[in-house]
Structure 1
């Protein structure tokens, strides 16, 4: 891995070369001077998600706060002095917004709304109202590389098509009179940063009378100017979001070319403030006269239904001033982000594996040296030495641990995903049928990515942001065939064939602290896991979703205690003096059995039915502990509770095994010795050693040597024929970085673990397992100190010469060898089939 200081010095020289080679690109060194003062929230963070929202400055927040504290702003629909002051400020801000885009207020108007999507919907609803008023519906053409919000307009049109760039050229250049239509496209792709011709809007107006243009400018105006000075060539409608430009306020706008505003006359609904006359008679108005008359004049007067978000508009006024003070203008920002964009683009393209293959597969046809065609937003995926892809969600996990903020997934651009991932309509539907959903963790299906990694630069981005991200790629994804942790080679004649259980942990409340079973106590174990393990959960009272420690790390401090004699679950939290007592036995509500009610919830993407505790004392206890509106719930044992079963990559061929509220499998087994090489790596890097508790296992055993568990088939109890059957390695996320005693986050052990235990971009530690009982009741008991016989996978028939390997002690997990799933064996996900010798 390249030394950070050396890498920075090299990229600094390269940046200077970029500025010499491309006169339009100019790095703004002043950003480095004021960044720490104006953006203290960036301390220790590499923020590369400006396409989603850029960042607000401290001085902006101070100015807004001071204004709101000193001045009184009333509702602009009133006529009091404070209301008139509000109206004045809104009017002034409206003009300033138009001036920013060189839009003459005589010919343009800006309508304030929630965001870009709301602006798009305002236009779409106006066109849809044509058919409701007795006219024919409208036609719709949208560029394939469009945000989901533009795609959604297709639902309202009588005829809609997605066009490629050459088809857009053909469409706008063909002279036809074919009725009313709307053509929409992005000024800059929210996915790839590719920019599209503003001239399309001009040619459409010239060649297709009756057609209107809608420009999604949200991506472009984040870092670049937009010139609307020529009213004859400007788009009819321009949608944008101010938080993407200034970070704050959360506000959007629709810039309307007044000559095109007649399309809004078909709107039926009106809200407060948009009418000149209105009455509410008991019956139909006499003589069929309207009971309301809309305002005439500028579009905002009849399109801004109800009270506008006037405090946000006042904040926008300050944002315009503050942004100008810091950056002068968007031309300067454009040159700055172009310089950094070229550096980032070329640095990514230059990353190579030891065998010379490229690491970064960038999705664009353009080079950022030409700002007319490419912005400072880039989408890509990472490849391994053999050319296969790394899952983008696994990149996100590692980036999060390094405090690098980026975007992954489908990026709300379905057409871009289909084009750049080379996914046909049939493949997209097949992926959906197999479980793929927007925002889930399915990043690779049938060898193809389902989305991408996106990094985007902004006005306050600096050289160090680029250096840190390139350093991150070098640290984790450049394969220089390093020497990884190994021990003595293993053979089937290994003398270590036994182990002992050193610890048993039950997690009564999902994502809360463990209850460690006392060594003197036996515990019931079943096919679906340890008794009471993850039987309870916390659900958010707003969303109804099951809460987890990744989002709410303080859940680690909620400590349950199970008393089998009193049949009580006691729950404590160090900052709350009272202890909750919950009966373990499900029963009818009484004084000692709190009232519950059925409600729908979601866990790991699955919809389930839980019994939520509705008593105020219970919900208040947990809400006070976490400072989140939540309550306790129980996953019922009744059949109507819904079923959850092991995930595909660990599912048994001989039937589905229930997992209740567990993430993937009934039981998690960890070998204590496997932590040793990880802590050794942490120690060498100067980090804090990790405790075994961060891996949140159910059963800890003292295996013969580190990572020996990769070769285990099953663990047999010496006093019975029952077994713990191993199902495959456990994929890990950065939740293991949460200290289970303090709830504090740190990069370790995920960083060191990822360097020792990664295959196909996924990080592994521990083994999924299930209990196979020798009795008809499918239940047994387990206790600390129990001796277990280790049965190893038969490796004689395995191909040990091929397949990509992951260092795992004396073994390598490979992607190309397989075990017959019809036999009891380790289960891996599609790209991971079994454990074999190194």
Structure 2
């Protein structure tokens, strides 16, 4: 029975669904009529007015030229009314710019305040029925040819299909290379059943589908009676629009696969699966036009409005091969409560009857009732979808085209590369709402172009409150395709410690990800110019600028330094302590520096300041001749009854310096070692007892323990500072950063930078000499009483410096990282570098390589050192690749 007060009219329109679900009094302003007539309305919503100036006509101007009595919907610049867009954008932080519409849209304000009293376990409420009707109207399924199954998202829908399909060795899974990882993950279920798997590109799929079809049924194994009971099937899965590049792929592929067959499978044996999560959120989709040849569609509603986080849909075509296969596995698949079963015995496994309805079979668990309740009123804002979604696509595509043209103008065609799928015919390449790009800069004496890492650009965008996406966007296939990465490159990057989502953005001169800016229904032209201004102010200078153009002065005192302070951090990511002397070990690092870490219990993951900012208030130092580790918590973090300080007797003297042989890899010999992170994951040993673990767990707010890191050294760089790296910064740089960031205390800046060695000029110079002092990231080497150190790479900074400064009470907006970018821009340097990572090397002399001995060397406070600096333009290409080819984040 329907709720009282609901007007029922047979008009099959999405706006009528609002009337059915809410009543006339709850209509949105533009749909507020006394009652919808039973015949189609004569008025249509006019999205925009005809432009006054002579400009190119967009499709939205051609399809929406009907008179509208409602002036609220008449907008010149956007297809949605200004009030809706303004309310959605008001949820952003002040000054923020949203450029990640491909990941999620902004939440729409609720158009309904009607109470919702239906119990969550009731699956046949009128509200859920209206929500399914609203979704059908939005996706263009007026014939009700599809089952609408609510899921938690597109990933959940794909996982349901992967688990429920009866895979067999005679079956196949064909996946497009640009498919999302959630689609590609189906291959594991297929491979586990010995089914075939094939990854295809646009060009290869086009060539195959254009051939004369000669399909033949694969031969089933003679000993597989169960498999012979049904014909084999092949699943063709591809995205309707790539979430990384914005390339749209034609529905024609599904039609031709159904008509001509796919490889050795006939058209009747082909199951077409389309991922429309990106397409349906920014373009019109009419399933009525594709019903005969599309078997399944997945969609995530949060990409249309963030109000629906945790709500998606799986649409399965009725009377299709996919429907019969899913129903055939219902008796042997997992079942739950609700209406998923018709009869079940708790004692006999033979007495079980699954539901005959596919929807109730697959909808397991409690759905997102509140989101389903608001779905009709929210989708009414996009009604009629054929007009509104076309206007949204034209609006977002115009902004994306503007951004692409301005980006190319700012960085020149050689300084930026826009990524698209080149395998589609030119007449089928539509305008995209996404701009995926890689920026390049000129480096080295040869003045060649080298990619700028996506992590560096992403950090700059984040500092300036720009919401964007960097990396591979969970689409490894599209990322590798557009960047030209092969399986050999992926394996080599993994062996060097690269993991998805880390800071290793350029390896061996090849980028590992890209930058994506996307636009949607709430984007404005001001967003385009704001993002361009950020990139131009912080990135474009490094394309043509070079450090060699800056005059650092020629005063002799600038090459002589004095050690101002020394710092050791025994536990990674924890605060350290100042010392008067440091000793270098056989690896070239500082003895006792970053030899311990806090590990999360039950995993190999180490805590960092990014994942656990409270570590900034935990200080560690070594006492009693470096045989005792002391941990002290800041007094503001101490809980009642909790000790503030813990001392751990290491019970060893391994930190005492000894004469040891130093094994250096030969320059002509390549060594294959585990990365530092992998080696530490396999070489950790717990330190302290249960009392220490409980104390650390109470500090971190999660089960953790203290571990000793492996002592072996890896020759492969990682994404963070390792224990064999020595971070060197300049006192003048710290002072410049302090004044630029507006921080009163120099100690706060020093703690945020977490250096090991702070150098100052040997002689007090003039202000001009102070301003022209060379930065440490062009540091080449320095010597002091037999100690020789060489630079390894520049230290790229991340948001950790802001975390430490915030823990010290200076919660400034993006500082001091924002000032680091400002200083580097003044110096015409690249990115967010500050300081240099170096290591001590033994004096080789005339001794053979294998007989070189390491004699422990020291560096004391106020000791004089002599340094030399390199010109970044005069650095040879070989030196650049060996010493500073990669710059990685310093996490602590």
TM-score range, shorter chain: 0.7 to 0.9
284, 308, 311: which one aligns with 1:251: 311
* Aligned match of 1:163: 200
Question: How far is 1:426 from its partner?
Answer: 4.4
Question: How far is 1:643 from its partner?
Answer: 3.6
2:750 matches 1:692: yes
341, 351, 364: which one aligns with 2:397: 341
Cα distance between partner residues in 2 of 1:547 and 1:446: 28
SS of the residue 1:238 aligns to: strand
2:702 matches 1:629: yes
* Aligned match of 1:374: 431
2:131 matches 1:54: no
For the Cα contact (< 8 Å) 1:119–1:253, is it kept in 2? Answer: yes
335, 343, 355: which one aligns with 1:277: 343
* Aligned match of 1:535: 595
For the Cα contact (< 8 Å) 2:796–2:834, is it kept in 1? Answer: yes
Query: CA distance change for structure 1 residues 692 and 646 in 2, over 3 Å: closer, same or farther?
Result: farther
861, 864, 882: which one aligns with 1:784: 861
Question: How far is 1:331 from its partner?
Answer: 4.1
SS of the residue 1:702 aligns to: strand
Question: How far is 1:434 from its partner?
Answer: 4.9
* Aligned match of 2:513: 451
For the Cα contact (< 8 Å) 2:779–2:868, is it kept in 1? Answer: yes
For the Cα contact (< 8 Å) 1:249–1:316, is it kept in 2? Answer: no
Alignment of 1:266-345 (within 5 A): 266-267=328-329, 268-273=332-337, 274-281=340-347, 290-297=350-357, 299-305=358-364, 307=365, 309-310=366-367, 312-325=368-381, 329=385, 331-345=387-401
2:58 matches 1:22: yes
2:160 matches 1:122: yes
Cα distance between partner residues in 2 of 1:319 and 1:613: 54
Cα distance between partner residues in 2 of 1:257 and 1:120: 15
Query: CA distance change for structure 1 residues 535 and 757 in 2, over 3 Å: closer, same or farther?
Result: farther
Cα distance between partner residues in 2 of 1:350 and 1:430: 36
2:243 matches 1:190: yes
SS of the residue 2:818 aligns to: coil
* Aligned match of 1:765: 835
Query: CA distance change for structure 1 residues 322 and 713 in 2, over 3 Å: closer, same or farther?
Result: closer
2:95 matches 1:44: yes
2:596 matches 1:553: no
Q: Normalised by the size of structure 1, how large is the TM-score?
A: 0.76
Cα distance between partner residues in 1 of 2:755 and 2:131: 57
Query: CA distance change for structure 1 residues 272 and 667 in 2, over 3 Å: closer, same or farther?
Result: same
Alignment of 1:10-159 (within 5 A): 20-24=56-60, 27-28=77-78, 33-35=83-85, 37-38=87-88, 39-57=90-108, 59=110, 71=117, 73-74=119-120, 76=121, 84=122, 87-104=125-142, 106-127=144-165, 129-131=166-168, 137-155=170-188, 156=190, 158-159=195-196
Cα distance between partner residues in 1 of 2:215 and 2:644: 73
For the Cα contact (< 8 Å) 2:792–2:836, is it kept in 1? Answer: no
Query: CA distance change for structure 1 residues 206 and 812 in 2, over 3 Å: closer, same or farther?
Result: closer
For the Cα contact (< 8 Å) 2:138–2:379, is it kept in 1? Answer: no
2:759 matches 1:701: yes
* Aligned match of 1:798: none
Cα distance between partner residues in 2 of 1:165 and 1:665: 46
639, 644, 647: which one aligns with 1:583: 647
Question: How far is 1:45 from its partner?
Answer: 1.9
For the Cα contact (< 8 Å) 2:646–2:692, is it kept in 1? Answer: no
Question: How far is 1:544 from its partner?
Answer: 4.7
For the Cα contact (< 8 Å) 2:546–2:828, is it kept in 1? Answer: no
Question: How far is 1:177 from its partner?
Answer: 3.9
Question: How far is 1:259 from its partner?
Answer: 1.3
Question: How far is 1:147 from its partner?
Answer: 1.6
Query: CA distance change for structure 1 residues 241 and 185 in 2, over 3 Å: closer, same or farther?
Result: same
Deviations 1:235-290 (A, max 9, x none): 110012222222132133210111111121342313124222333557xx7xxxx4
Question: How far is 1:217 from its partner?
Answer: 0.6
Query: CA distance change for structure 1 residues 255 and 430 in 2, over 3 Å: closer, same or farther?
Result: same
SS of the residue 1:381 aligns to: strand
SS of the residue 2:371 aligns to: helix
Query: CA distance change for structure 1 residues 373 and 768 in 2, over 3 Å: closer, same or farther?
Result: same
For the Cα contact (< 8 Å) 1:50–1:458, is it kept in 2? Answer: yes
Alignment of 1:742-753 (within 5 A): 742=809, 744=811, 745-746=814-815, 747-753=817-823
Cα distance between partner residues in 1 of 2:708 and 2:53: 62
Query: CA distance change for structure 1 residues 710 and 181 in 2, over 3 Å: closer, same or farther?
Result: closer
Question: How far is 1:569 from its partner?
Answer: 1.0
Cα distance between partner residues in 2 of 1:345 and 1:438: 29
Alignment of 1:410-421 (within 5 A): 410-421=472-483
* Aligned match of 1:203: 256
The 10-residue stretch of structure 1 (326-335 or 538-547) with the greater mean CA deviation from structure 2: 326-335
For the Cα contact (< 8 Å) 1:32–1:462, is it kept in 2? Answer: no
Question: How far is 1:515 from its partner?
Answer: 1.8
Query: CA distance change for structure 1 residues 624 and 505 in 2, over 3 Å: closer, same or farther?
Result: same
For the Cα contact (< 8 Å) 1:690–1:749, is it kept in 2? Answer: no
Cα distance between partner residues in 2 of 1:252 and 1:89: 16
Cα distance between partner residues in 2 of 1:16 and 1:233: 43
Q: Normalised by the size of structure 2, how large is the TM-score?
A: 0.72
Deviations 1:450-473 (A, max 9, x none): 332111223322333222111112
Question: How far is 1:116 from its partner?
Answer: 1.7
For the Cα contact (< 8 Å) 1:393–1:441, is it kept in 2? Answer: yes
Deviations 1:509-534 (A, max 9, x none): 322323223xxx54554345444432
Question: How far is 1:186 from its partner?
Answer: 0.7
Question: How far is 1:477 from its partner?
Answer: 2.7
Query: CA distance change for structure 1 residues 487 and 404 in 2, over 3 Å: closer, same or farther?
Result: same
584, 597, 607: which one aligns with 2:681: 607
SS of the residue 2:431 aligns to: coil
Query: CA distance change for structure 1 residues 362 and 723 in 2, over 3 Å: closer, same or farther?
Result: closer
For the Cα contact (< 8 Å) 1:238–1:256, is it kept in 2? Answer: yes
Question: How far is 1:209 from its partner?
Answer: 1.9
Query: CA distance change for structure 1 residues 90 and 666 in 2, over 3 Å: closer, same or farther?
Result: same
The 10-residue stretch of structure 1 (104-113 or 252-261) with the greater mean CA deviation from structure 2: 104-113
Question: How far is 1:700 from its partner?
Answer: 0.8
Cα distance between partner residues in 2 of 1:732 and 1:459: 35
Instruction: Provide the aligned C-alpha RMSD in A.
Output: 4.3
Gaps of 5+ in 2: 1-50, 62-75, 218-232, 261-266, 443-447, 653-674, 763-769, 845-851
Cα distance between partner residues in 1 of 2:107 and 2:878: 52
Cα distance between partner residues in 2 of 1:433 and 1:572: 37
Question: How far is 1:395 from its partner?
Answer: 1.0
Cα distance between partner residues in 1 of 2:470 and 2:531: 15
